[in-house]
Structure formats: C-alpha cells, structure tokens
A and B are shown apart, each in its own frame.
Chain A
Amino acid sequence: MIGLRLRQLVFASIVALIAYVFAANVMLPASMGMALDSYSLTIIGKYLCFAMLAVALDLVWGYCGILSLGHAAFFSLGGYAMGMYLMRQIGERGTYGHPVLPDFMVFLNWEQLPWFWYGFDAFWFAGLMIFFAPGMLAFVFGWFAFRSRVSGVYLSIITQALTYALMLAFFRNEMGFGGNNGLTDFKDLLGYPLASNGVRVWLMLASGLALLLSLFLCQKLLATKFGRVLVAVRDSESRTRFLGYRVEHFKLFAFVMSAMIAGLAGALYVPQVGIINPGEFSPLASIEVVVWVALGGRGSLYGAALGAIVVNAAKTFFTGSYPEAWLFFLGAMFVISTLYLPRGILGALEDLAQQVKGNAPKLSTEELS
C-alpha cells in the first residue's frame, strides 16, 4: 500500500507541475509574477524528457531483463528526426541564405539535398520518422539479437557497440547530418519562434504530457497478460520458453516500443535545448541513463522517472558549482546504487516504510538479477 502511495505521489507531483505551469504561464496574466522564466522552463522540460527516456529503458531493463547500454541512440535518432525538420524550417534565414540546403551542406559545397532529407519539411513526416527511425533500428537489431538468443552481458556490450558505431558514423561530415557540429541554429517550430517564452511553455507542457502518457501506456501494458509474460522472461527466460511462449517476440515488442518512447523523448528534447550533435550517441550518455533507472528503482516506472529527475538535478548543481566533483559523484552513485540500493530510492523508501509498519520487506531484489 505504501509503495502504491509513493507511486501516486510521483504521478501526482508531475500532474501538479504541469497544472501549475499551465495555470501560471498560460492562464494567469503575467503581472501576477507566478510565471516561470524560460531558463527554468527549459530545465524542467529537459528533465521531463530524460524521465521519459528512463521510463523507456526501465520497460526493457526492469521488466524484461534487457540491459541496453545504447538507449541514447534511440533518443538521439528521434532528436535528429526532429532536428532535420527544424533545419528545413530555417529556409532562407540561414547564414548562406540557401532556400533549400541547410548551412552545413552549403558549406560542404553540396549541390542538392540528400535523399534521406526529403520530406522533412513536412511536420507530419518528421513526426512519423521520430517513431519510425528508432523503432526500425530497434526492430532490425532486436530481431537479429533476440532470435539468436544473445542475452545478458553480451547483449549489453553489443548495444554499446551499436551506439558507438552510430556516434562514429554521425561524426562524419559525409553522412549528411552536420558532422561534428550536429544540427543547430533552429528558428521556429510549426511557424512559432522557438526562442519565445510561449513556445517554451508549450514544449514543456508537451514533454510533461508525453511523460504521463508513456507512464500510463507502459503501466497498462504491464498490467495485461503480455506484461506478465515479460516479467516471466526477465525472471527466467528458459522456463518461459519451455512453457511455450515465443520469448523473442515478447522481447522484440518491448524493445521496439521502448525505442519509440525514447525517440519521442529525444524529439521533444531537441527543440528545448536547441541543438543535437553526435555526442548524444556516446556510450557514456547511454550508460548515464542506466544509472538514473538504477538509482530511481529498477522495475518501477515511477522510480525510473524519479531517478532521472534526481540525478539530472544533481548534475545541474554539480556541473555548475563543482565541475570536478561531478564524475566522482556519478561514479559513486553507480557503486552505491548497485551495492546498497538494489531497488533504488523508491524501493528503499518502500522498504523503510514497511519496516516502520513492522512488516518484513519484500525480497524481490534477488529475482531481479
């Protein structure tokens, strides 16, 4: 019961945050001084996107036992799809003033748009690609990997290799994604200028709603029989297989769905921070996502979201005030969360609450591994 209440608390605070911003920045007049400034809006929006990414990873890691060390790749692909749309929206306002080609292509003396940039001037197409690009990659990769029963640390290592290969590829100018500098200097989204406060409010609200939606969707999915089978795969893959389930299909579905959620998170993230570059593909970025989930509470969607927000708030604080200490802190969190908080902050709080009530804590940690 306590656990349920904690989850409700996380859910309620996200709803309250959205409601507050909606009320203060949209409904009430600015003269009341309740509105958040654009810096806070961007930071909150960013955290909400990261929380979505954490939920996506928790779906496959916490409930299906697939530790992906390359989830930032799906996030970045979604981000790049959105970035390409935003680049096409710049039009003639670029430094070189070319009506079609983005600046970096003019700079590289390209004559025409590469084929994979076609269609990105339409928002509906970009919106489709936000789900399609990460989903397709996850499908192809997962289809190969799960069919040949690559699992455990082997799978983790090749997901890391996947994002590493993508990072190297996107760093190349010839790839046509802006190389080292990535995509930036965005002007507007659907005709509204990105720099304006109003657009930032709506982007933040959209991120919050998307987070709630993905939490809701995942929860509904996990409550079905399908979700039960996923957990069974996590706890004992061979037994589930012997019971007659096509384990690889279940894993593949969860993996693709998770990749699409991650892609959506990336797409909402890019217009808020104003840049996407190949650094987002780095293995370190992916593995940071894992620590958000581990610290927040693996196997609990709300815990993952909470972990993402807590760790990123800490990151903002440390990189601002004590830049040297950040990696020490991050490293220590990896060690502490695996050694002492196997079920994360949320799990620890639940156990604590149980102990206060006099009940023995649930021994679910052993099952997780």
Chain B
Amino acid sequence: MVRVVSFIFSLFFVCEVVYGQTFDQGKALADSSLKEKMVWVEKLASDDSEETTRILQHWLDGILVYWPQENRLVRGIKEGRRYQLQDLMTEEALGTAASRDIDRVKTNNSLRSALKQVLGSRQLASSDRDVRLAAIAELKRRPDYKVLLLLKKREAAEQDDQIARQLSELIGLVLLESTEANEQLEGLQRISGELSPEVKDSLSRFLLNPNLDPQVVEVAQRELEGITRSLMYWGIGQDLFFGLSLGSVLLLAAIGLAITFGVMGVINMAHGEFIMLGAYTTFVIQQWIPATSMWSLLISIPAAFVVSGTAGIVLERLVIRHLYGRPLETLLATFGVSLILQQLVRTVFGPLNQSVVTPDLLSGALDINAAFSVTYNRLFVIAFALCVLVTLWAVMQRTPFGMRVRAVTMNRGMASSMGVQTKRLDALAFGLGSGIAGMGGVALSQLTNVGPNLGQSYIVDSFMVVVFGGVGNLFGTVFAALSLGVANKILEPFSGAVLAKILILVFIILFIQKRPRGLFALKGRAAED
C-alpha cells in the first residue's frame, strides 16, 4: 500500500523518492534548502508509515538530525555542547556527537505550520474516535489545500457516520482554498447545510477573493445567507432552551415562596437560604456516595426536601407563629434568620464556593448541530421542575391537605370556622414550601457553584416571580417564572446580562403599578385585605 501510494506521488515531484522499509534520504533532506524542504514535507505527507510520522514529529520539535557516520536520521537532543543521539524508532541511545559531526534538519515558521497540518491529518487515522474528532476540529481552524488527497483517502476509509460528515465538511472547507471553480463548487456543495462557525468564517473570507467565477460567487452568497438565517433560528431556539431552564430554576425557587405567601401572607426572606441548604445537602451527600453516580443525586432530592422542610417548620414554630398578622415584622425577622443561616453555613463549610459534581449521566450534551445543543443537566432541571409541578398540583387539587391549604389561602377565618386546624396547617404548608425550595437547591447545584450567598442571588428574582404571577395561583407562578426566565435570556444577547436583568426589574416595577396584585390575582373576597 505504502509503495503504491508513494509511487503515484513520486510521479508528481522533481525529485524521485523510493520509500523503503527505512527512510534513506536523510542526507538529501538535511542538505536541501528551506524552499525544497517544503516539497519534502508534501512528499512525506503522502506516506503514512509510523516512521514518517516520527520523522515529521521530530522535525517539528527540532530534534531531527542527520548522522553522516551511519547515513541515517536520528533523534539528537542537545546536551551542553554535544548532542545525545538516539534511534529514531526505539529511542535507544547511540552515543554522542559534536555539533559539527551531525546535521540538524532546520525549520522555519511556514515549515512548522505545514508540519502541524500534516501531523494533524495523520491523527485522522487514529483508532480513537475522540482523537479523530479533535484532529478534524484542529484542521478546520486552518484548512490547507495540501492535505486534500490525504483527507479524501481518510473519508473513503471512515466507518463512523458522524466523523464522516465532519470530514466531508472539512474537505469542503479545504476545497474552498482551491483555485479551480469546479473544486470550489464541490466544496460549497459539501459545506451546504453545515452551521459551524468555521464554515461561516471560511465562506465570508472566500467571498472576499476577487478572482472568483460569477457562478461560484452566486452559489457561495446563497449558501452564506442560508447559513446566517439558520444560525439565527437555531440561536433563538438555544436562547429559548436556556430561558426555559432558567425559568425552571426560578419556578422551583418561587413556587414554595408563593405557597407560604399565599397561605399565610408571610414574606419569608429566608427562603433563599432554604435553597442554599438544599444545595449544601447535595454537596454533603456527595461526600458519602460517589458523586459520579446518579444515585447520589436521586438520594439528595428527598434528603434536601427533608432538611429544608424541617428547617422551615422549626422557623415557623419558633419565630413566624409569634408574628402572625404582622407581615412587615415577619419580613424583618425572617431576614435575620437568613443572615444567621448564611453565617452558619459559612462557619461550617467555609466561605468559598463548593463545587458539586454532576453525575456522569447528566454531564455532556446532545449536539443537534453546531449552533444548538441540549446540555443534559439543563434538561434534567427542566424535567425535574415539571415533575415537582405535577406532584404539587396533584397534592393541592387531589388531597384533603391540599384542599385545606387552598381553603385557608382563600379565607382563613371561614376555613377555621369549618374545622380546619389553621395553626397546624400553617406549619405544614410552611414546611412544604421550604422543602420545595430545598429541592430547587438540588437542581441549582447542577448548574452553578454552591456557596453561602447562593440563596441571596435568587431571592430577589423569586420575589419578582411571585409579584408578577400573583399569589395563590400555581399557574400564575409557572407562567411568571417561565416568561421571566425566557425574557431574561432573549434580552441578554442584545443588551448584556446585567442590563437584561435591570430591564426586567424595571418592567416589573412598572407592571406592579398596573396590576398591584399580580397577573393572576385571586378574585372575590379572598383578595381583600
């Protein structure tokens, strides 16, 4: 095989080379001028024996030397004034030589980049799939016409469909570097429908070339427009996905708040800290159960519910119960509790962020194409929020407990007269709301770092959701959380993350003027204070 290929190639070049089992043209290589060396690189590129790869690699590294005494190429590592010589393949020591007794194969910048290209294309033959993908990605960055034949050979041999497609895209990019119109057209055809940034860059660069055939220009322009349009659509899709996942986090944070606020009229400023407790529970459980296993995360969910829920019930029993009917005082007292919880966590776990490991099952992403990928952890958060929502809905609508909670939300006095034990219910509802916040913390730990200030950064947003959506209506909260999440992410590309947030806050401040009780306010007597 090697012989056949090299024979075909040797026809193209001035200097005829016959490849043997070992490379015996060392002297010619070492003696050639830098210009001739470029021809040598191209010649060697077409041969894919292990030895040639080594020669090219050593050449690039600057340790390839010609040893006249034995008339062969060896590794020469400079040590003081002499060179340590080693066999090219086995790296077995061959003694030392003074620099005048050997001939180092020189390089310059253009040679080095050519060598890199050739070596990169060689990795395409690796048996490791990831190495091949990495090599393609590297080559795409600077497509080089020189490696075209080699790429086509690889394409024919490639078994993996995904890699074959990537390879075809790469060949398309390489063909754009060609000067012939039919090759350029083939290249355009190959990259048609691909959305990677390299394709867009190459096309834009390609169109700057003044010597193009008008037909080619037309095709290329159509291609570029198509790519720009698709990129825009997929970009919006990506924003929507991120927005939905952010909205899901907001939903998990706000839904518990809406329950406690709705049932008891209590603003719980420590709610953010219950989220933080949930996230830290995940962290602690990962210390016991291997973090990479999905089990650790699945166990964290009920654990976080219990930890935060218990903390919530304790808070209700010790503090909030005594402040019933004084919402502003409750707000202040719970704020104090939030400070204590933050400092407590800081004292126990330290002030630095802890990184919670994402289980193997959730790391990675499903790449639909270069512009749109679905990361599994965000998908998990969306699915998880949906599960929590459905469960909560079922509890609120289908159980006696839920019915009582709704009754108290609508009219506390009347519910009490009908025999609902409102005090006990308050504690349970508070525990439920706090527990959901804790589960929100588990979800959040998959997206960001876990630190003592985690809760604080979400509390203002959660309040905005509750204020926007209105109290006592599950779907108001869902609608508000998702729309705020999506609006945030849609605005971000135009205005930057901070400005997007400010715009949303200003919008809500204006909105609450119009609808002081939220978008989905409770109607009837319940809404009156």
> Quick check: B339 and A168 within 8 Å, CB to CB?
no
1/0 per residue B267-279: CB within 8 Å of A? Answer: 1000000000000
Determine the distance from Cα of A248 to Cα of B505 in the docked complex, in whole angstroms: 23
> Quick check: B336 and A334 within 8 Å, CB to CB?
yes
Determine the distance from Cα of A248 to Cα of B501 in the docked complex, in whole angstroms: 29
B299 in contact (CB, < 8 A): no
> Quick check: A334 and B516 within 8 Å, CB to CB?
no
B512 in contact (CB, < 8 A): yes
Those of A202-261 within 8 Å (CB) of chain B: none
> Quick check: A161 and B463 within 8 Å, CB to CB?
yes
Those of B286-334 within 8 Å (CB) of chain A: 319, 322-323, 325-333
A153-B327 contact in complex given A161-B460, A339-B322, C-beta closer than 8 Å: yes
B interface bracket (residues with beta carbon within 8 Å of A)? 35 or more
Number of interface residues of A (CB under 8 A): 43
Which residue of the partner chain, among A149, A152, A160, A324, contacts B327 with CB atoms under 8 Å?
A152
Chain B hits for A294, CB < 8 A: 332
Determine the distance from Cα of A152 to Cα of B516 in the docked complex, in whole angstroms: 11
> Quick check: A338 and B332 within 8 Å, CB to CB?
yes
Determine the distance from Cα of A369 to Cα of B330 in the docked complex, in whole angstroms: 11
State how many angstroms separate the Cβ of A238 from the closest Cβ of chain B. Answer: 9
Determine the distance from Cα of A169 to Cα of B496 in the docked complex, in whole angstroms: 12
> Quick check: A330 and B505 within 8 Å, CB to CB?
no
Determine the distance from Cα of A169 to Cα of B322 in the docked complex, in whole angstroms: 38
Determine the distance from Cα of A148 to Cα of B518 in the docked complex, in whole angstroms: 13
1/0 per residue A330-346: CB within 8 Å of B? Answer: 11111101110010000
Which residue of the partner chain, among B319, B344, B346, B467, contacts A158 with CB atoms under 8 Å?
B467
> Quick check: B506 and A157 within 8 Å, CB to CB?
no
State how many angstroms separate the Cβ of A284 from the closest Cβ of chain B. Answer: 8
A304 in contact (CB, < 8 A): no
1/0 per residue B346-388: CB within 8 Å of A? Answer: 1100000000000000000000000000000000000000000
1/0 per residue A255-283: CB within 8 Å of B? Answer: 00000000000000000000000000001
> Quick check: A161 and B508 within 8 Å, CB to CB?
yes
Chain A hits for B512, CB < 8 A: 145, 148, 150, 154, 158
Those of A157-187 within 8 Å (CB) of chain B: 157-158, 160-162, 164-165, 168-169, 171-172
A133 in contact (CB, < 8 A): no
Chain B hits for A164, CB < 8 A: 460, 505
Which residue of the partner chain, among B328, B347, B456, B516, contacts A324 with CB atoms under 8 Å?
B347
State how many angstroms separate the Cβ of A304 from the closest Cβ of chain B. Answer: 14
> Quick check: B336 and A153 within 8 Å, CB to CB?
no
> Quick check: B516 and A328 within 8 Å, CB to CB?
no
State how many angstroms separate the Cβ of B445 from the closest Cβ of chain A. Answer: 23
A287-B513 contact in complex given A153-B328, A171-B498, A339-B323, C-beta closer than 8 Å: no
B527 in contact (CB, < 8 A): no
> Quick check: A287 and B514 within 8 Å, CB to CB?
no
Determine the distance from Cα of A342 to Cα of B329 in the docked complex, in whole angstroms: 9
Which residue of chain B is the closest to A337 with respect to CB atoms? B332
Determine the distance from Cα of A361 to Cα of B463 in the docked complex, in whole angstroms: 38
Number of A-B contacts defined by CB within 8 Å: 123
B392 in contact (CB, < 8 A): no
> Quick check: B340 and A332 within 8 Å, CB to CB?
yes
> Quick check: B331 and A153 within 8 Å, CB to CB?
yes
A162-B509 contact in complex given A283-B460, A334-B335, A369-B326, C-beta closer than 8 Å: yes
Chain B hits for A148, CB < 8 A: 512-514, 516
Which residue of chain A is the closest to B504 with respect to CB atoms? A165
B6 in contact (CB, < 8 A): no
Determine the distance from Cα of A211 to Cα of B514 in the docked complex, in whole angstroms: 38
Which of A145, A148, A153, A369 has the most chain B CB atoms inside 10 A of its CB?
A153
Chain A hits for B510, CB < 8 A: 144
State how many angstroms separate the Cβ of B146 from the closest Cβ of chain A. Answer: 43
B464 in contact (CB, < 8 A): yes
State how many angstroms separate the Cβ of B329 from the closest Cβ of chain A. Answer: 4
A161-B509 contact in complex given A331-B343, A334-B339, A369-B325, C-beta closer than 8 Å: yes
Chain B hits for A147, CB < 8 A: 513
> Quick check: B464 and A161 within 8 Å, CB to CB?
yes
A327 in contact (CB, < 8 A): yes
Determine the distance from Cα of A337 to Cα of B326 in the docked complex, in whole angstroms: 14
> Quick check: B319 and A165 within 8 Å, CB to CB?
no
Which residue of chain A is the closest to B498 with respect to CB atoms? A168
A156 in contact (CB, < 8 A): yes
A328-B343 contact in complex given A152-B328, A172-B498, C-beta closer than 8 Å: yes
Chain A hits for B337, CB < 8 A: 331, 334-335
B342 in contact (CB, < 8 A): yes
State how many angstroms separate the Cβ of A51 from the closest Cβ of chain B. Answer: 19
Determine the distance from Cα of A324 to Cα of B308 in the docked complex, in whole angstroms: 23
B281 in contact (CB, < 8 A): no
A157-B335 contact in complex given A169-B502, A327-B343, A369-B329, C-beta closer than 8 Å: no
A44 in contact (CB, < 8 A): no
Chain B hits for A337, CB < 8 A: 332
Determine the distance from Cα of A168 to Cα of B497 in the docked complex, in whole angstroms: 10
A339-B347 contact in complex given A148-B513, A150-B513, A152-B328, C-beta closer than 8 Å: no
A157-B267 contact in complex given A152-B327, A172-B499, C-beta closer than 8 Å: yes
A53 in contact (CB, < 8 A): no
B338 in contact (CB, < 8 A): yes
> Quick check: B516 and A149 within 8 Å, CB to CB?
yes
> Quick check: B339 and A331 within 8 Å, CB to CB?
yes
> Quick check: A338 and B329 within 8 Å, CB to CB?
yes
State how many angstroms separate the Cβ of A128 from the closest Cβ of chain B. Answer: 26
Which of A152, A172, A291 has the most chain B CB atoms inside 10 A of its CB?
A152
> Quick check: A144 and B508 within 8 Å, CB to CB?
no
A201 in contact (CB, < 8 A): no
A67 in contact (CB, < 8 A): yes
Chain A hits for B323, CB < 8 A: 338-339
State how many angstroms separate the Cβ of B201 from the closest Cβ of chain A. Answer: 28
Determine the distance from Cα of A67 to Cα of B529 in the docked complex, in whole angstroms: 18
State how many angstroms separate the Cβ of A334 from the closest Cβ of chain B. Answer: 2
Determine the distance from Cα of A176 to Cα of B322 in the docked complex, in whole angstroms: 47
Which residue of the partner chain, among B333, B346, B467, contacts A334 with CB atoms under 8 Å?
B333
> Quick check: B467 and A327 within 8 Å, CB to CB?
no
Chain A hits for B502, CB < 8 A: 165, 168-169
A290 in contact (CB, < 8 A): yes
Given A328-B340, A333-B336, A369-B329, 9 further pairs, Cβ under 8 A: A150-B512, A154-B517, A157-B467, A160-B463, A161-B505, A327-B339, A338-B336, A339-B319, A369-B325
Q: Which residues of B contact A (CB under 8 A)?
A: 267, 319, 322-323, 325-333, 335-340, 342-344, 346-347, 456, 460, 463-464, 467, 498-499, 501-502, 505-506, 508-510, 512-514, 516-517, 529
12 A-B contacts, Cβ less than 8 Å apart? A153-B267, A160-B460, A161-B464, A161-B508, A162-B505, A165-B506, A169-B502, A328-B339, A331-B343, A335-B333, A335-B336, A339-B333
